[in-house]
Structure 1
Amino acid sequence: PARLIETVIPDVLVKGGDYIAEEIVGYDTVTKNGGRVEIVPFLEGKSTSGMINLIMENT
């Protein structure tokens, strides 16, 4: 992920869970380029793979 983040340099880097922002891979790259790192809580029953499966079932 570090190489991708260094290439893309996103404005916002989002991680789910109980991370500490400063310990997330890419934190330094994003923040030194004016971006921000956001940590969002897990939502019971919601996941990226669940969303992908739902999309695949409906296409």
Structure 2
Amino acid sequence: MPGYQFVKSSYSNINNDCVEVARNIPSTIAVRDSKTPDGPLLTLAPSAWAAFTASHRTP
């Protein structure tokens, strides 16, 4: 994975059931399953990631 620096979600649980997100590449946000780090990636434009995360915030 070219240069992605993944970070685990702050909501990860003890069983490592979480997502990991890489935000270090300005034009791409990469998301993967922590259980399969060599598996597929979901890549998004930063604007799409911002809309997704905003829609999941608690007011």
| TM-score using structure 1 length | 0.28
Which structure has greater helix proportion? 1
Which structure has the bigger radius of gyration? 1
| TM-score using structure 2 length | 0.28
RCO comparison, higher one (Cα < 8 Å, 6+): 1
Which structure has greater strand proportion? 2
